[in-house]
Structure formats: C-alpha cells, structure tokens
C-alpha cells in the first residue's frame, strides 16, 4: 500500500530531508585519502544525534553502522570499518539515512578519493544525471515505469550496467515503503504517481555488467565482474509538474545547467 503524504506530513519530511542534506554536505568535507570509513561513520552518527535525529540504518535488520561506505566494485551496503582506509584513485559511495520527528530521509552520493581516472569520473557524473532524469519523471499522473525507463535509457546509452537486484523505494514513516522503484522499466507502465507520494530514487550504475553478488559479511554487494559502481540517491516528493527533492532543498529542475 502506497501512503500519500498530506501537507503537514510533507513538512515533516522536508525537515528530515533538509537535515540530511546538511549532514551529507559536511560528510563530503571529511572524505579524503588516509581517512577510515569508521571515522566517517562516527562523524555521521554524531551529527545526526546532535540534531535530535536518529540514524535509521543503525540496527536496521541488524546492520551495525549509521552509514554505508562502498568502494569501487562495492555497489552498496559496505560496512564502515577502522580497517578500511580510503585510498587515492578510489571512488566512495556513501549512503545515509535519518529519522527526524518520526519521518525518514535517505540519500547517497559517490565521490572521488583524491585524483581519479576519467572513466570513474564520467561514471559518477552519468549516475548523477541518471538520478535527475529519473526524478524529473516523478510527477503526478506519470507512471512508476517512467522513472526507471529514464534512468535505464541514459545509463545504457553510455554502455553502463543498471543494477537490477536492488531498487529505490517508497519512504515516509518507514525507510522502505511501497512501491519498489526499479532503475529500469517501461515508459507508461506501472503504478500511476500521485502528488504526495514520496520516493527514494537511487540509481546504482556500473562501468560493466549489471550483475551483483553479496559478500560473506551478509551485507556488502559487489559487481560480479569487478567493475566500479556509482550510487546516487535522494528522497523525492511527487508533485504536479515538478517533483521536489527533499534531500536537495532548493533544487530547481528548470535552472540552466550548472546553476542549482
Ligand atoms: N539506503 C539504503 C536503501 O536505500 C538502506 C541501507 S540498508 C541498511 O535501501 F541496512 F544499511 F540500512
Ligand atoms: Co534508499
């Protein structure tokens, strides 16, 4: 069952989304070569709690940390560790969620560690563009398949793989609500979108094939072929005409490229 949020509920989700946006910006600044992923996790948890919010990942189905840190061929759900030191030339996907006043926000980005090669740089940029293409379709009276179609078209036009085993999701009082939001699909098919639906749209795009596998830790997902992967996620509210990106407050779909 898909929960449509009323304006008071959307206000609560806006507040959660804005807080997560602000924390994600601070996290970007502490990511650098030589840092451990455990240190970034500790900083994230401290920031979340300092603002009277709760880390939604911590304890979720037994997950042990407040963020996921996935490096290079790790797709998602990498577990922060004091044994994992960020190395120049890698890419890091950082995924974080929080609960503020009972309402959830969920967001992820991929960033370079120091200097990286052009292939990884382009993968990051295209993955972000895939998100915006998908999010642009999250408007009232569109269909769910329009989102996945837009993501898939852009990714595959660049020869990239679209991860299928993991999807975006509805989000609200719970981190994972209906509907599941695949990053592939058929335009004009699927559930009809309504203003007030709130979706975590999160393309996971690989430089190679789409197949993934789970590691022995029970969490970390990696590409089967070892190719690098990027992930970009925001919590989005469906609206008439233009969606609202709750974890990117002020984002304007109609601004000229480069202006946000
Ligand atoms: N952000 C992830 C998602 O979109 C959730 C991480 S799984 C957790 O589904 F266990 F770490 F919470
Ligand atoms: Co998510």
Q: What is the 3 state secondary structure string of 178-207?
A: EEEECCCCCCCCCCECCCCCEEEECCEEEC
Regarding the beta carbon of 68 and ligand 1, being less than 6 Å apart is answered: yes
Which residue among 41, 55, 68 has the greatest number of ligand 1 atoms within 8 angstroms of its CB, and so is best to mutate? 68
Cα(112)–Cα(13) distance, rounded to whole angstroms?
A: 29
User: Residue 251's closest CA among 259, 239, 171, 11?
Assistant: 259
Provide CATH code, domain 7-245.
3.90.230.10
Regarding the beta carbon of 181 and ligand 1, being less than 6 Å apart is answered: no
Which tokens is 54 given?
A: 């709760």
Q: What is the pLDDT of residue 260?
A: 55
Q: What is the pLDDT of residue 258?
A: 66
Q: Are 65 and 201 in contact (CB under 8 A)?
A: no
Distance 232 CA to ligand 2 centre (A): 10
Across the beta sheet with 221-223, the strand order is: 74-76, 221-223, 212-214
Ligand positioned closest to the Cα atom of 219: 1
CA distances from 158 to 32, 194, 203 (A): 28, 31, 14
Domain residue ranges in the chain:
7-245
Regarding the beta carbon of 57 and ligand 1, being less than 6 Å apart is answered: yes
Distance 254 CA to ligand 1 centre (A): 30
Which ligand 1 atom is at minimum distance from the Cα of 106?
1
Closest CA to ligand 1's atom 8: 57
Q: Which residues pair with 168 in a beta bridge?
A: 181
Q: What is the pLDDT of residue 36?
A: 98
pLDDT > 70 in the chain, percent:
99
Distance 97 CA to ligand 1 centre (A): 8
Regarding the beta carbon of 41 and ligand 1, being less than 6 Å apart is answered: no
Q: Which residues pair with 93 in a beta bridge?
A: 70, 110
Which residues, given as ranges, of the chain have pLDDT below 70? 258-260
Ligand positioned closest to the Cα atom of 234: 2
Q: Are strands 91-100 and 177-181 parallel, antiparallel or unpaired?
A: unpaired
């Amino acid at each position: 069952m898909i929960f449509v949020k009323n304006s008071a509920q959307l206000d609560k989700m806006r507040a959660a989304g804005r807080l997560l946006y602000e924390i994600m910006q601070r996290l970007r600044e502490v990511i650098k070569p030589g840092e451990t992923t455990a240190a970034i996790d500790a900083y994230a948890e401290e920031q979340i709690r300092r603002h009277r919010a709760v880390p939604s990942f911590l304890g979720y189905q037994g997950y042990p940390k407040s963020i996921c840190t996935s490096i290079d061929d790790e797709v998602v759900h990498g577990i922060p560790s004091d044994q994992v030191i960020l190395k120049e030339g890698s890419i890091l996907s950082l995924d974080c969620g929080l609960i503020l006043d009972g309402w959830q926000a969920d967001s992820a980005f991929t960033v370079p560690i120091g200097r990286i090669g052009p292939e990884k740089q382009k993968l990051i940029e295209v993955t972000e563009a895939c998100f915006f293409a998908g999010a642009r379709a999250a408007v009232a009276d569109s269909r769910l398949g329009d989102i996945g179609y837009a993501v898939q078209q852009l990714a595959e036009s660049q020869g990239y793989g679209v991860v299928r085993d993991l999807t975006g999701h509805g989000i609200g009082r719970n981190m994972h609500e209906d509907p599941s939001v695949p990053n592939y699909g058929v335009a004009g098919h699927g559930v009809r979108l309504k203003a007030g639906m709130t979706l975590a749209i999160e393309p996971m795009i690989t430089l190679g094939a789409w197949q993934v596998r789970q590691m022995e830790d029970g969490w970390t997902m990696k590409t089967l072929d070892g190719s690098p992967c990027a992930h970009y996620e925001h919590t989005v509210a469906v609206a008439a005409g233009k969606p609202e990106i709750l974890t990117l407050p002020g984002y304007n779909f109609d601004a000229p490229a480069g202006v946000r």
